[in-house]
């Protein structure tokens, strides 16, 4: 760290003009500095102003925003006073930005080489003749294999992780002194994320570039940051070195946020942080966190706290920060509701296969198989009443596909689905009788998409009630209110539209709609991944309580292994539409594991600066599963030999019902995975 | 938050009032709606408020410049331009007022249907629509008008037919957009009937788009109608009509500019008004996605 200040933001306030002409602040009196060579993480939930702050550091304001006061300096020059021309010179050169979705920020019609060349031409003085060497050097620096080959490709020919690497290499092209990263790994698979973060860490130490890392993901922040800034409602509420902030947070919000993250090490549900942050302009005179704070004092309502320096060198916007560590004892995390083991089946999947690949017209005509391998192959799974089974896997593993086919939205190519002891279900929902339709309900990932924006909450909840039960208008209303209460919403929400609800509230309405049918089985498709962490914990707790009250069976699909752990009795790990491992959560998350599970677990990031992820496999994206052998053969870190390429591995059943599909004997797996590391997983 | 959400939360009846209020709160909406309302009012009231008989010809009054008696001057037959301008929008508004809803209804119906059915039928019909749209509209119109004549009973269905075709595309695109969303899948998974899904889930989301599209089509249709009059296929003399007046005045532009300017200003102000109002309507309904509030 050379100590020279690159970014210096003083007392910056940014806002926009509301519909009624009032000024609504998005950032309030923010102080923020970054020195050369330092990596600073900005963390906060959606709407906390973290991206606005990062963009303001570059001298950029989103449409409609304006500076209300304060200054933002880059290397001593005020960026808001610079001309567009001057800013253009700096951006991409002295400072560069890496956006969240680099697939969209790369020009789709230009080869990677041409785009990199342009970056070099604009931001360096290199002679044209040395561009090729420099480009190869840059791509090698971001650990892309066969750089010459990558240069000739179009962005769409690269995987998400590779695109992100190309974006990073473009940012490095100008030898920037500062990199701004806005959620650079959000939306990537866990293994890819772990790779990118390691790369960023290495680059920071190799090149001495300062980085500003914006994310909602405390695990990612923990992995890369020296210093962490926690934002809440447009204010900096806590700032300090990463270790202190993440391991012993002194602000009640930071504390609540951290304890709302489910952990791999803990099978209990995380504690929810109730309430929601104030909307821009809605924060009163007092502390913006007062409504949700467990240690709020009367004066917190009227006096806005200042940033206080603690003896440990942190800045915290809470005068009662000394009380925060004691909060731990008073908080309670809830134990998950377990199945009662009544042993009657809720649903059985029998050799279920689904094929997405559409046959071509010619193939149809000749009635031939075009040799494609099914997307999902021979899933056999038995789920007991009241049990929660988690399906985990990276994108493309077929998790959602399986749910859709259980829901009757997608026709399986072969196999059977049986509800309880009844006849096998008709393949498509149109052909199922009403009782079957009622028994299975689906909750989607993004409530913005799954709730009709034109329907009020009352109309949304009434849909299943009208369809499945012959209710009178009066009873309809009574039941709707009752359902809302069950998802902890009061009856005045009935007249609201989805656009008037927060993300968490929308998902609660979606949950209420699913429960309105009084279903036997609820399919949860990534139900928390569009939500903020604190809201996620509340939704998980809600699902858990409903399960306890109603004994509903869940199939819970998620890419987040920690989330799956805290809600599931059993976990099924999927790779490329094939089951790899199946067993009680406790055994799946301990040893031995299928090599793929091992890779996934190793890549999970904990909000702990000392936790080091283990990267065991490449993040190559496979488009289709291999025709023969083990589906994981190409990436497996423990591949034994040709047997993996030719023979489908057998199911090996270990303790309990823990089954692993691998050629390596279980004892051997246990030994090699246990070697050199503690068994605390 | 859009006007719709505000209004819907307090009840269905206030929906329209809410949308109009939201439109009026935007400068473009206020100006646009005032212009349209002004023109409609004039069209209705003009027979009672015009100072002269629109067909009173006078040799002495030919090409009189604007004066106290004739504030817009007189035309080549000595008729009062002010009177004729005030009355010149009546035919156009009646024809397009009937043809626009007809176009939106039939085009919308076919478009939504194609979006839902998909497959071969959709593909074939859409290619036909594309082929149709690639021909210049005036050519197609003239063929029909020459074949069937130029009365209102021909013009209204003809305009409705031609302007319904681009509506098919819009309605189909809007339908495909909505059908891909999860709330439709959710309704399907619940097992609602197809008709119920279309009525409850799809239509409310497509109708907004259709409404805005209709407003835009209205202004296009007005232009088309005036062009037909200009070419002599619309209204027959001596009925006053802006298109016809522009055609008549064209030759005397150099020395009687008031004669050509009056109908041009009248026609353009109506079309600009409709466009501004349609724009505000789109924003009030929350269709314009580029105008999202920050954050």
Sequential DSSP letters for B37-90:
HHHHHHHHHHHHH-SS-TT---STTTTPPS-SSSTT-B-TTS-BHHHHHHHTTH
Quick check: A68 contacting B, CB < 8 Å? no
Question: CA dist A442 to A337, A343, A406, A524, B273, Å?
Answer: 21, 23, 9, 6, 47
Q: Residue range A119-138: average pLDDT? A: 87
pLDDT score for A153: 86
Determine, yes or no, domain membership for A280. no
* A62, A446, A467: residue with CB nearest B190: A467
pLDDT score for B291: 38
Confidence of residue A680 (pLDDT cuts 50, 70, 90): very low
pLDDT score for B293: 35
**Model confidence, pTM:** 0.80
CATH of the domain at A55: 3.40.50.300
pLDDT score for B289: 41
d(CA B256, CA A671) in angstroms, rounded, equals: 101
Task: Tell me the CB-side half-sphere exposure of residue B224, using CA atoms within 13 A.
Answer: 26
Last residue of a domain, one of A248, A274, A298: A248
- Give the number of domains in chain A: 3
Determine, yes or no, domain membership for A130. no
Quick check: B10 contacting A, CB < 8 Å? yes
Which are the contacts of B249, defined by CB distance < 8 A and separation ≥ 6?
B75, B76, B256, B259, B260, B263
CA A386, distance to chain mean position in Å, is 27
Which residue of chain A has the CA closest to B4?
A454
Determine, yes or no, domain membership for A207. yes
A624-674 residue pLDDT tens: 677 788 888 888 888 888 888 888 888 888 877 888 888 888 888 888 887
ipTM: 0.76
Share of chain A above pLDDT 70, in %: 92
- Together in a domain, A562 and A663: no
A507-553 residue pLDDT tens: 889 999 999 988 889 999 888 887 888 788 888 888 888 888 888 89
Residuewise pLDDT in 10s, chain B (295 residues) = 444 444 444 455 567 787 888 888 888 889 999 999 999 998 888 888 877 777 777 777 777 777 777 788 777 787 888 888 888 888 889 889 999 999 999 999 999 999 888 888 888 999 999 988 888 888 888 888 888 877 778 888 888 988 889 899 989 999 998 888 889 989 988 888 888 899 888 988 888 888 888 888 899 889 988 888 888 887 777 788 888 888 888 888 888 888 888 888 989 999 999 999 988 888 888 765 443 333 2
Q: Residue range A17-37: average pLDDT? A: 83
- Together in a domain, A551 and A483: yes
A70-89 residue pLDDT tens: 888 888 888 888 888 888 88
Quick check: A21 contacting B, CB < 8 Å? no
pLDDT score for A328: 59
- Together in a domain, A490 and A560: yes
Which residue of chain B has the CA closest to A496?
B9
Quick check: B185 contacting A, CB < 8 Å? yes
d(CA A69, CA A281) in angstroms, rounded, equals: 16
Interface-testing mutation among A463, A469, A492, A512, with chain B (most B C-beta atoms within 10 A): A463
Which are the contacts of A85, defined by CB distance < 8 A and separation ≥ 6?
none
CA distance to partner chain B, nearest, from residue A276 (Å): 16
pLDDT score for A154: 87
pLDDT score for A365: 63
A372-A375-A380-A383 Cα dihedral, nearest 10 degrees: -170
Lowest-confidence region among A65-69, A369-373, B130-134: A369-373
Quick check: B38 contacting A, CB < 8 Å? no
- Together in a domain, A600 and A506: no
**Which residues from A are below 8 Å from B205, CB to CB?**
452-454
CA distance to partner chain B, nearest, from residue A203 (Å): 31
- Together in a domain, A493 and A608: no
Please give the angle made by the CA atoms of A552, A554 and A559, to the nearest 5 degrees. 155
Mean pLDDT taken over chain A: 83
CA B50, distance to chain mean position in Å, is 26
pLDDT score for B5: 45
- Together in a domain, A222 and A363: no
* A16, A65, A429: residue with CB nearest B189: A429
Quick check: B5 contacting A, CB < 8 Å? yes
Helices B152-179, B203-230: axis angle to 10 degrees equals 150
CA distance to partner chain A, nearest, from residue B241 (Å): 42
**Which residues from A are below 8 Å from B182, CB to CB?**
444-446, 449-450
pLDDT score for B14: 61
* B186, B201, B204: residue with CB nearest A442: B186
More confident residue, A542 or A102: A542
* B4, B182, B204: residue with CB nearest A446: B182
pLDDT score for B127: 92
Torsion-angle region of A436 (φ positive above 0: left; ψ -120 to 50: alpha; else: beta): alpha
CB contact under 8 A, A407 and B204: no
d(CA B56, CA B46) in angstroms, rounded, equals: 16
Which residue's structure tokens are 């429960």?
A: A515
Determine, yes or no, domain membership for A140. no
Last residue of a domain, one of A205, A230, A248: A248
Determine, yes or no, domain membership for A191. yes
Is pLDDT above 70 for A362? no
Q: Would strands A315-316 and A308-309 be described as parallel, antiparallel, or unpaired?
A: antiparallel
CA distance to partner chain B, nearest, from residue A409 (Å): 6
Determine, yes or no, domain membership for A34. yes
CB A576 within 8 A of CB A210: no
- Together in a domain, A531 and A586: no
pLDDT score for B3: 45
* B186, B191, B201: residue with CB nearest A437: B191
User: DSSP string of A424-490?
Assistant: BPPSSGGGS-HHHHHHEEEE-S-HHHHS-TTS-HHHHHHHHHHHHS---HHHHHHHHHHHHHHTT--
Is pLDDT above 60 for A681? no
A234-A184-A394-A108 Cα dihedral, nearest 10 degrees: 120
CB contact under 8 A, B8 and A440: no
Quick check: A519 contacting B, CB < 8 Å? no
CB contact under 8 A, A16 and B191: no
Last residue of a domain, one of A220, A248, A276: A248
d(CA A533, CA A270) in angstroms, rounded, equals: 10
pLDDT score for B292: 37
- Together in a domain, A523 and A614: no
User: DSSP string of A390-431?
Assistant: EEE--TTSSHHHHHHHHTTSS--SEEEEEETTSPBPPSSGGG
- Chain A, 421 to 440: residues with Cβ < 8 Å from chain B are 429-430, 432, 434, 437-438, 440
Determine, yes or no, domain membership for A472. yes
- Together in a domain, A388 and A537: yes
pLDDT score for A229: 93
CB contact under 8 A, A496 and B9: yes
Is pLDDT above 60 for A3? no
Task: Tell me the CB-side half-sphere exposure of residue A638, using CA atoms within 13 A.
Answer: 19
pLDDT score for A41: 92
Total CB pairs under 8 A between chain A and B = 86
CB contact under 8 A, B10 and A455: no
CB contact under 8 A, A429 and B188: yes
A194-246 residue pLDDT tens: 888 888 888 888 888 889 999 888 888 888 899 999 999 888 999 998 888 88
* A47, A64, A497: residue with CB nearest B293: A64
Interface-testing mutation among A405, A454, A555, with chain B (most B C-beta atoms within 10 A): A454
Please give the angle made by the CA atoms of A228, A233 and A234, to the nearest 5 degrees. 70
Paired tokens of A563? 């989330």
Confidence of residue A620 (pLDDT cuts 50, 70, 90): low
- Together in a domain, A510 and A658: no
Determine, yes or no, domain membership for A352. yes
Share of chain A above pLDDT 90, in %: 6
CB A45 within 8 A of CB A216: yes
- Together in a domain, A427 and A527: yes
Q: Residue range A303-328: average pLDDT? A: 81
Confidence of residue A1 (pLDDT cuts 50, 70, 90): very low
- Together in a domain, A591 and A524: no
Please give the angle made by the CA atoms of B47, B48 and B51, to the nearest 5 degrees. 90
Please give the angle made by the CA atoms of B204, A433 and A511, to the nearest 5 degrees. 55
CA distance to partner chain A, nearest, from residue B62 (Å): 54
Is the bond leading into B238 cis (omega within 30 degrees of zero)? yes
What is the residue range of A636's domain? 577-680
Is pLDDT above 50 for A678? no
């Amino acid at each position: 760290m050379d100590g020279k200040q690159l970014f210096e933001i003083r007392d910056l306030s940014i806002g926009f003009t509301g519909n009624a002409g009032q000024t609504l602040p998005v950032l309030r009196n923010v102080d923020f500095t970054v020195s050369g060579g330092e990596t600073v993480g900005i963390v906060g939930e959606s709407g906390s102003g973290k991206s606005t702050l990062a963009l303001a550091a570059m001298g950029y304001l989103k449409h409609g925003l304006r500076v209300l006061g304060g200054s933002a300096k880059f290397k001593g020059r005020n960026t808001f006073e610079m001309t567009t021309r001057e800013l253009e010179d700096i951006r991409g050169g002295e400072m560069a930005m890496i956006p969240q979705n680099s697939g969209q920020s790369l020009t789709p019609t230009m080869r990677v080489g041409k785009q990199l060349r342009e970056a070099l031409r604009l931001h360096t003085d290199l002679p044209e003749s040395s561009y090729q060497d420099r480009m190869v050097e840059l791509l090698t620096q971001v650990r892309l294999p066969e750089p010459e080959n990558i240069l000739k490709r179009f962005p769409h020919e690269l995987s998400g992780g590779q695109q992100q690497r190309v974006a990073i290499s473009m940012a490095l092209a100008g030898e920037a002194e500062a990199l701004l990263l806005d959620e650079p790994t959000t939306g990537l698979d866990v293994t890819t994320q772990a790779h990118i973060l390691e790369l960023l860490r290495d680059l920071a130490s190799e090149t001495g570039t300062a980085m500003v890392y914006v994310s909602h993901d405390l695990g990612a922040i923990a992995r890369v940051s020296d210093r962490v800034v926690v934002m809440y409602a447009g204010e900096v509420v806590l700032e300090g070195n990463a270790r202190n902030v993440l391991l012993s947070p002194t602000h009640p919000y930071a504390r609540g946020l951290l304890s709302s993250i489910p952990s791999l090490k803990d099978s209990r549900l995380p504690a929810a942080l109730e309430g929601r942050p104030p909307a821009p302009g809605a924060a009163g005179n007092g502390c913006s966190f007062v409504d949700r704070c467990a240690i709020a004092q009367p004066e917190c309502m009227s006096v806005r706290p200042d940033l206080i320096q603690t003896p440990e060198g942190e800045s915290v916007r809470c005068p009662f920060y000394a009380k925060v560590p004691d909060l731990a004892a008073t908080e309670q995390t809830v134990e998950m509701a377990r199945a009662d083991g009544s042993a009657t089946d809720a649903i059985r999947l029998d050799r279920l296969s689904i094929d997405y690949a559409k046959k071509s017209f010619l193939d149809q005509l000749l009635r031939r198989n075009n040799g494609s391998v099914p997307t999902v192959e021979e899933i056999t799974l038995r789920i007991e009443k009241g049990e929660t089974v988690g399906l985990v896997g990276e994108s493309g593993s077929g998790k959602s596909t399986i749910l859709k086919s259980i829901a009757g939205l997608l026709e399986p190519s072969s196999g059977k689905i049986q509800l309880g002891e009844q006849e096998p279900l008709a393949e498509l929902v149109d052909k199922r009788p009403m009782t079957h339709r009622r028994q299975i309900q689906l909750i989607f990932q993004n409530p913005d998409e799954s709730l009709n924006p034109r329907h009020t909450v009352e109309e949304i909840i009434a849909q299943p009630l009208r369809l499945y039960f012959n209710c009178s208008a009066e009873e309809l209303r009574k039941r709707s209110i009752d359902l809302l209460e069950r998802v902890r919403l009061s009856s005045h929400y009935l007249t609201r539209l989805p656009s008037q609800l927060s993300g968490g509230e929308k998902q609660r309405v979606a949950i209420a709609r699913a429960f309105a049918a009084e279903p036997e089985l609820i399919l949860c498709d990534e139900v928390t991944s569009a939500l903020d962490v604190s809201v996620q914990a509340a939704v998980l707790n809600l699902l858990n309580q409903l399960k306890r009250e109603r004994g509903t069976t869940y199939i819970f699909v998620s890419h987040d292994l920690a989330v799956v752990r805290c809600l599931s009795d059993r976990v099924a790990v999927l790779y490329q539409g094939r089951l790899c491992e199946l067993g009680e959560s406790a055994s799946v998350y301990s040893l031995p594991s299928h090599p793929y599970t091992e890779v996934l677990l190793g890549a999970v990031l904990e909000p702990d600066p000392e936790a080091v992820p283990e990267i065991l496999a490449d993040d190559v994206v496979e488009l289709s599963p291999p025709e023969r052998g083990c589906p994981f053969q190409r990436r497996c870190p423990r591949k034994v030999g040709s047997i993996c390429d030719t023979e489908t591995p057998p199911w090996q059943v270990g303790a309990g019902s823990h089954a692993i599909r691998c050629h390596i004997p279980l004892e051997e797996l246990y030994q090699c995975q246990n070697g050199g590391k503690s068994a605390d997983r | 938050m859009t006007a719709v959400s505000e209004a819907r939360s307090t009840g269905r009846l206030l929906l329209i009032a809410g949308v109009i209020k939201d439109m009026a709160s935007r400068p473009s909406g206020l100006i646009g709606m005032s212009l349209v309302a002004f023109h409609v009012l004039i069209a209705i009231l003009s027979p009672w408020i015009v100072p002269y008989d629109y067909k009173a010809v006078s040799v002495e009054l030919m090409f009189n410049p604007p004066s106290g008696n004739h504030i817009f001057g007189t035309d080549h037959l000595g008729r009062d331009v002010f009177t004729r301008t005030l009355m010149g929008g009546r035919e156009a508004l009646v024809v397009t007022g009937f043809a626009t809803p007809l176009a939106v209804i039939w085009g919308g119906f076919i478009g939504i249907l194609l979006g839902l059915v998909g497959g071969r039928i959709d593909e074939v019909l859409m290619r036909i629509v594309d082929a149709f749209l690639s021909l210049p509209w005036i050519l197609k119109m003239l063929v029909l008008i020459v074949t069937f004549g130029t009365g209102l009973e021909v013009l209204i269905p003809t305009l409705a037919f031609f302007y319904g075709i681009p509506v098919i595309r819009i309605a189909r695109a809007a339908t495909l957009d909505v059908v891909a969303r999860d709330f439709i899948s959710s309704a399907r998974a619940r097992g609602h009937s197809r008709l119920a899904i279309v009525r409850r889930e799809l239509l409310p989301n497509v109708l907004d788009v259709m409404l805005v599209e209709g407003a835009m089509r209205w202004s296009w249709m007005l232009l088309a109608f005036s062009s037909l009059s200009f070419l002599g296929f619309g209204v027959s003399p001596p009925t006053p009509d802006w298109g016809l007046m522009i055609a008549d005045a064209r030759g005397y532009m150099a020395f009687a500019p008031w004669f050509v300017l009056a109908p041009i200003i009248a026609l353009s102000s109506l079309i600009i008004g409709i466009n501004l109002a349609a724009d505000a309507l789109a924003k009030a309904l929350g269709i314009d996605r580029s105008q999202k509030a920050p954050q």
